[in-house]
Structure 1
Amino acid sequence: MSQQIFDLVVRRTWRVPLTAVSSGDAASVARRFDGVLLTIGYKASGRLLSYLGTLTPQDARLVSVQVLAVVQEAVGAHAQHNPYFRDFPRNVPDTLDFWVSCLQDALKDAPGAADAGAIFARREFDLLALPRYGSYQHTYEEMVAAHDAFLPALGDRRTVLDVGGTLDEEAHGLYRHLAGSTTPLSDADLAALALLAPYCAGMEQPATVPQRSARAIVNATHVLYGREPEIDTVTDVLRLACALSGGDVTLETATRFRSLPRPVRRTLLAALDAVVGASPAKVGDVGTHREAWKRLGERLHPHEHAGPGARVFAVARGEDDVPSLPARVERAFASGARAEALRLLAAAPGALVRRADHLLRSAADDAEAAAVVDALERALPDVSGRVVLGLREHLENRRAATNRQPSASGRPGVGRPDPGRRVFVNRRGGAWASADERSPLPPDALTTLARACDAEVLRRVPRPQDLVVDPDLLDVALPLSARARPDGAGVLPRGSRTRVTGELLRFFVHWRETRQTTDLDLSCLLLDRDFTDAEHVSWTRLRGEGFVHSGDLTEAPGGATEFVDVSTRRIRRPVVVPEVHLYSGERFDQLADGFFGFMSRDTAQAGLPFEPATVRLKSDLTGAGRVVIPAAFLRGEDGWEALWLHLDLNGSPGYNTVEEHRVTTTTLVRAIAARRYLTVRYLVELLRADGVKVHHEMPQGTGPVTYLGFGAPEELPTGSRVVTPQNLLDLVPA
């Protein structure tokens, strides 16, 4: 357990916990450790080197090995990355020439004309089944010997590792950070919280856990340790039962409930009694998860229980009918009782704010619209910060669609807006787009509500004396939800835009199959500025002007890697969309290992196809989809930038290709590029307008500051607050 916690803390915080207590002289070990870190894009801070240097050499080596294993896996350096063509990116043949050579080899190996004819008859020209196609023709060592040495550059990534507190202190801080998140956590975050909760069970617990899924995990630990769980809805009880059964606390997939001990059953039934007894109307939420309640009832034996909570199972079985709040609201709208619908929603501020657009569009006149605006303004102080920010972002997009403003990103030339379409992304990263046929919202209502949201955000955000901001972080989107965000290194929220430098973008996908032969394909869609007139890079088109593919691998028992190089100077199309397709075999969530990433490097750097110091992103492949679109790369007037997408599409059951999904991909990328996301810039400008001093470099002679950046400087005034992508959730107010 301690080793897992140690690895988790290092990966999530880039801090090395104090674990060894020996005393010695390990300065030489510390220097060698730092040298190895530099080769994979990391660097030890002075404090970390000092700490390692004071340990015995044996303890320093142990800590160094543990940390190196974590950071290597973080950027994908734990695997051997061998391209199909040994000399890639040099000497990659034309696609047709390569296929002809594979066919010639197959015919040459055939003993006679009869066997050669059998190749044509049996295989029906299935080029993928030719003996030479899709499997390595050289060893990793032979590939390494064929490449020149890597030349480091000043622009290579340097992530600083610092020393932290004790393992318990660091684990507790990470636990409180995840448990206190005001935005939904990703699957990886929930798994981390589930690991930390038992470890931190004897430590100070958070006063409240805002997010329901995270609350279920914390509640499960509380129950097992004899504490009272935090529950205020019947669905909280259902999530808790799922957590106790090792199931899905998000309730998106069915949980097989375990037989629970009698004390735990009594705790769950008592929680239901308390919720239903205090507010019988909350039983209306049961219908949303009716089947799950029926299965849970088989384990809780509610027929032996006479409390008010037993009504939950009567509703689940259909013996009692209690309409939910959404159902009552829909009935009011259907009957034309808009005032009644507004009254019902006013009792649930979160639901009211989420229905703001519908309520405003449904208003019959200015008086009704004014009543809706007034109700929304009164509700804002009672909803979470992410709901306020979500409304603010929605209003901005509605205003942009109405005014047909020229740029969704705030920068000219980086994609044109598509205000005529709406894009929907679900909790798993599935996405679709449709025509926006909604009527415009009243301009006065838009302005009034936007100002009210700004004022409410300002009321909740701490005001530092001095705010120091790395300009590169300004266009990173605020994490209003992390549900579809994959785990990895350098992963940013959907809608974030970051500068991309270097003469070469190198995309890569690595996978290792578990049981079944699996073929993943790395491809790119190349679009013009209007997101039309597409061409592609794939195993069917290995090279062209400004791009080259490393070759198609069709099996990965020991791991396989495919690469695509795009020259930022020579590529003709200004929009590049890398994609990962499942052609055949295991789903992404069934693989033993699988991740996508990209490197940014200069052509003069040479080196191996995979150089960890140049990796800018490593994003794990997860989920049950068959097409992953991690990001898009757009060329504007002042260079290239990455637009983070995190899309996990269903695709076809098999044989997915970039050509097949061209229309879907183009539509989604265009719609997301047009959308206005609330970014760090929004918060910074709000604070600046409120009188906070904003700096882009560290001011001299100041006290504690709030620092926003991709990595904090080593020397900050004592008491400073630091926000990086590692703890970006902290920017969303409670």
Structure 2
Amino acid sequence: MQTSFPASAAILLRRQSQVFAAAGDGQLPASHLEAFEINLAGIGYAISTRLRARLATGTAAQLGALQQNILATLLTAFGGQRRHQPLFRRFPEDVPDNTFDLWCRKVLSHFMQAEGQACLHCGQTHTTHVLNPCRHVVCSACFDGSNYSACPVCERQVDPGSPFFLPAPERATAPPAAATPLKLLTLGESLEASAQALFVSFCERKQALSPVDKDDFQALIRERGAAILDWMPAAIPVRENVALLFGSLLRHLAPDAVMAAAAPYFNSATDALRLLAAYSGADPALQGDTIFRERDTATLRAMPKYQAFFAPGSYWLQRQTIPIAQLNKRFKLAKLGRPLRRALLAYLESLSPESRTEDMLRHRSYWVWLGEFLHPHEYQKRYPGVAHSFAIVRKKAPDGTPAPLFRSYYARLEQSAQQKDSSGMLRLLSQRPGELARRFDHALRIAGGDAGAEEQLLTTFASMVERFATPVLLTLAALLPTRGAPAAARVYWPKGKAAKGVFGPDQRPSLTPAAISRALALVEGELLRRFAQKEHYNDFVIDRTLDTVMAPFNERTASRSAIQLPRGSAIDIDLEFPKTLRLFLHWCEPQRGGHTTDLDLSVAFYDEAWAYLGVCSYYQLTLTGKSGAGIARSAGDLRSARHPDGATEFVDIDCGQARQEGIRYAVAVVNNYGGMPFEELEHAFAGLMLRDDKHGAHFDPRTVQLKFDLQGENGIFLPLVLDLEQQRLHWLDVYSKGEFEFNNAASSHAAITAICPALIAYFASGVRPSMYELALLHAAARGQRVRLRGGEECIVTRLAGESSADFLARLRADDGASAAASTEDGGAAPIFAALLKGDLALPAGSQAYVLQPGETAATIAASDLIS
């Protein structure tokens, strides 16, 4: 049995619950396997019969090594590998109820308590201790040293060897509740074949990879090196993925060899720019980095755009400089040898002059800066076209001669739109099918009800629909049915490292029913045609509960998450048993010293109309209802997170009591109160658990329902909203800018009440496609019989000669026989399943999308269904 655990094995274990173990010739005692299964059950996993039989053929040393790797991988995915010790070690017991009284004692201790002096609060002597390195003097009679894990005064981590800190009672992990299902690990057939299939699926994605997928994609490339070229598919639709692939290879292979292999996948100047970004370890999305530069306060006070800093009593009035955010369109460029420079310049020279220049102007600031390293005018005789394009980008030649004027495609397109020139706009859009698809709604509005212009646009749309990207078609399939009337709010998703939904009133004119109907038929017809080219299955099983799970979009900004729940999704959670919901936040500062960061986990509570009812946060550790019963309790505020242990904060919510007190919504808020940006931390993540043993271990990976990483610069992160009445979790995964420092739930109130209800309504409106609708499209195109689960189950069977469009209409209408009355048996033939929970055993060879793994794990990701 193999003992090595390559990156691909860890990735497939985490993503598909597969364990790869070669057959041995031994026979392990049953006690070894039982101990292995007990350890796995402790983190919420079990093993299949086939995997157990395979592991029994190995040695004890091999089983031990495999167990270590499996536990490390799975615990990392759910945050269980970290030390989770909150400020109050006996949480949820012994948390002070009077936060103001505690604050007063801390302030007095900070300013007035001296070493050797009798305690200011109780008057006792010989009970005070000086903590290092903060040097605060604390009284063991007033502050319980067996309950605190950090300084009670400043709440920063200190030397735990001080006599002030006393041992705390051990917190035993309770046995799993009977209602807690174990996730099944299965035996993988071939690590090589499975890794190749995953790599190809990444390459064939038709939208940008999520951060988790991007990490796994790069790990596969690093593991295999140049041999990964043997796995490459004929086409890689997303340019960023092309750059990631060849940029990684460029670090180890000769430039000529890499550029020759990349040539079939490159067709623009931006491809070369992305390649250099990936080669340099930067983001090939080319969205720039936000940097903070200190600016003189006196200078800023004279500038109207910065007046918000100088309100009466503002903290910034005391500062001589203020950090101002700037978008930096550069990256630290890796070494460019002459062979690489010549290879890049030769590729750029091979492009058509107009497209090369226009493409470079789209990212002008990058190219102006990059020209300092490529030195295109040194090679002007060999590559004259490139030198000419750089002169236009720089607006002058090296000798100071002004560059010729150049009017880009997008400048002409915007002019046509502003002038309401429908024919001119259509003429330009027809040159680039992708732009036609993305601006189709806008083009229909420019047509303005002109029957001739509208007909011409729809005719062009029909002739080019086969050339549109699948993600755009899916967006149109969901958007078009909603365009018959103004939306409650229009939401935009600007490019960036973190999602910041921007919304406002919908001022767009409505589209005509005829245009909507005709365009929708074309879009759905093309989607069905594409999906019909994929592998067919006789039987499909689809959960109706996927109708509130969104199909992935804007994946580039999705948070890294153990369960890849797409932004905007809503899932039901059982808040009756167990009734305690525990939110957690963990972060760790980099090993290099000199920086501390104070993150805060808060929960804000609102009624049916989004009227504020209370908060549980660092400035109000407990929230009590009118009846006197506790609603929420915080584990305390830690204000530093020293490497390597970091810091953890918890908030417990008694959901039943909250509902009795008239609370409808609980909003989780992660604030950067001060210090380093989220993305500069060693690691930072948050999530929630459903607990029935809240007095056991503070962190139990078996109960983690959602775990996600923090990213971006600073401000306010609004990850989720709990609808306590409907027992539903809304995953928003959106950031609000906030301030540079001192963010908290109170200062975030305006953002919460504006963003949360608007986004919940936006996603509920159907403007975004759901995983249920996406699964129905695949079933109508690829299947013969579809079982719809959830509610009254039914089986819809394709009629003889029935078209995919007609079959889709019947699937949407649940036009089938009751599943209870059906006697048909699919047997052992592989099926296709789209499941919310992996609670269904599937025949061998089946393909499955599973949001929450259980008895069955996913074999494909949600984004694979959009390819």
Q: TM class, shorter-chain normalised?
A: 0.7 to 0.9
Q: Distance in 1 between matches of 2:430 and 2:653?
A: 53
Query: Which piece of structure 1 moves more, 186-195 or 282-291?
Result: 186-195
Q: Distance in 1 between matches of 2:406 and 2:5?
A: 48
- 1:96 lines up with 2:127 in the alignment: no
Q: Does the residue aligned with 1:489 lie in a helix, a strand or coil?
A: coil
CA drift of 1:655 comes to 1.0
Checking the alignment, whether the CA contact within 8 Å between 2:489 and 2:503 is kept in structure 1 is: no
CA drift of 1:710 comes to 4.9
Q: Distance in 2 between matches of 1:109 and 1:642?
A: 49
TM-score normalised by length of structure 1: 0.88
Partner residue in 1 for 2:322: none
Q: 1:713 to 1:452 in 2, by over 3 A?
A: same
Q: Does the residue aligned with 1:439 lie in a helix, a strand or coil?
A: coil
Checking the alignment, whether the CA contact within 8 Å between 2:151 and 2:157 is kept in structure 1 is: no
CA drift of 1:272 comes to 1.8
Partner residue in 2 for 1:233: 268
Residue among 169, 180, 185 paired with 2:209 = 185
CA drift of 1:581 comes to 0.8
Partner residue in 1 for 2:463: 378
Aligned pairs for 1:684-699 within 5 A: 684-686=775-777, 692-696=784-788
Amino acid at match of 1:324: S
CA drift of 1:24 comes to 4.5
Q: Distance in 2 between matches of 1:469 and 1:144?
A: 49
Q: 1:445 to 1:144 in 2, by over 3 A?
A: farther
Checking the alignment, whether the CA contact within 8 Å between 2:540 and 2:785 is kept in structure 1 is: yes
Partner residue in 1 for 2:52: 49
Partner residue in 1 for 2:155: 134
Q: Between Structure 1 and Structure 2, how many residues are aligned?
A: 705
Checking the alignment, whether the CA contact within 8 Å between 2:489 and 2:506 is kept in structure 1 is: yes
Q: Does the residue aligned with 2:192 lie in a helix, a strand or coil?
A: helix
CA drift of 1:75 comes to 0.9
Checking the alignment, whether the CA contact within 8 Å between 1:87 and 1:146 is kept in structure 2 is: no
Q: Distance in 2 between matches of 1:22 and 1:619?
A: 42
Q: Distance in 2 between matches of 1:144 and 1:381?
A: 66
Q: 1:47 to 1:626 in 2, by over 3 A?
A: farther
- 1:449 lines up with 2:519 in the alignment: yes
Partner residue in 2 for 1:249: 284
Q: Distance in 2 between matches of 1:9 and 1:686?
A: 27
TM-score normalised by length of structure 2: 0.75
Checking the alignment, whether the CA contact within 8 Å between 2:430 and 2:436 is kept in structure 1 is: yes
CA drift of 1:310 comes to 4.0
Partner residue in 2 for 1:358: 442
Q: Distance in 2 between matches of 1:181 and 1:14?
A: 22
- 1:464 lines up with 2:520 in the alignment: no
Q: Distance in 2 between matches of 1:471 and 1:160?
A: 23
Residue among 486, 497, 521 paired with 2:559 = 486
- 1:618 lines up with 2:639 in the alignment: no
Partner residue in 2 for 1:495: 568
- 1:648 lines up with 2:651 in the alignment: no
Partner residue in 2 for 1:155: 179
Aligned pairs for 1:160-239 within 5 A: 160-200=184-224, 201-202=226-227, 203-220=230-247, 224=253, 226=257, 227-229=260-262, 230-239=265-274
Structure with larger RCO (C-alpha < 8 A, sep 6+): 1
Q: Distance in 2 between matches of 1:243 and 1:574?
A: 46
Q: Does the residue aligned with 1:652 lie in a helix, a strand or coil?
A: coil
Q: Distance in 1 between matches of 2:716 and 2:167?
A: 29
Partner residue in 1 for 2:850: 724
- 1:477 lines up with 2:477 in the alignment: no
Aligned pairs for 1:30-429 within 5 A: 30-94=33-97, 95-102=99-106, 131-135=152-156, 145=169, 147=171, 149-200=173-224, 201-202=226-227, 203-220=230-247, 224=253, 226=257, 227-229=260-262, 230-253=265-288, 254-276=330-352, 280-303=354-377, 304=379, 305-306=382-383, 308-318=385-395, 319-367=403-451, 368-399=453-484, 402=486, 419-427=488-496, 428-429=498-499
- CA displacement 1:333-358 (0-9 Å, x = unmatched): 33443211111011111111111222
Q: 1:709 to 1:630 in 2, by over 3 A?
A: same
From the two aligned structures, give the one with the greater helix fraction: 1
Q: Distance in 1 between matches of 2:529 and 2:580?
A: 45
Checking the alignment, whether the CA contact within 8 Å between 2:277 and 2:333 is kept in structure 1 is: yes
Checking the alignment, whether the CA contact within 8 Å between 1:148 and 1:608 is kept in structure 2 is: yes
Checking the alignment, whether the CA contact within 8 Å between 1:151 and 1:607 is kept in structure 2 is: no
Amino acid at match of 2:562: A
Q: Distance in 1 between matches of 2:702 and 2:273?
A: 46
- CA displacement 1:582-605 (0-9 Å, x = unmatched): 112222112122110100123x66
Q: Distance in 2 between matches of 1:552 and 1:67?
A: 33
| CA RMSD across the alignment | 3.3
Partner residue in 2 for 1:120: none
- CA displacement 1:648-680 (0-9 Å, x = unmatched): 333211111111111112211112101133111
Q: Distance in 2 between matches of 1:488 and 1:20?
A: 33
Q: Does the residue aligned with 1:600 lie in a helix, a strand or coil?
A: strand
Structure of larger gyration radius: 2
- What are structure 2's unaligned runs of at least 5 residues? 122-135, 137-142, 144-149, 289-329, 396-402, 626-630, 790-818, 820-824, 852-857
- What are structure 1's unaligned runs of at least 5 residues? 117-122, 405-418
Partner residue in 1 for 2:678: 588
Checking the alignment, whether the CA contact within 8 Å between 2:368 and 2:393 is kept in structure 1 is: yes
Q: 1:221 to 1:520 in 2, by over 3 A?
A: closer
- CA displacement 1:402-437 (0-9 Å, x = unmatched): 3x7xxxxxxxxxxxxxx1453535442123322222
Q: 1:597 to 1:131 in 2, by over 3 A?
A: closer
Q: Distance in 2 between matches of 1:163 and 1:321?
A: 63
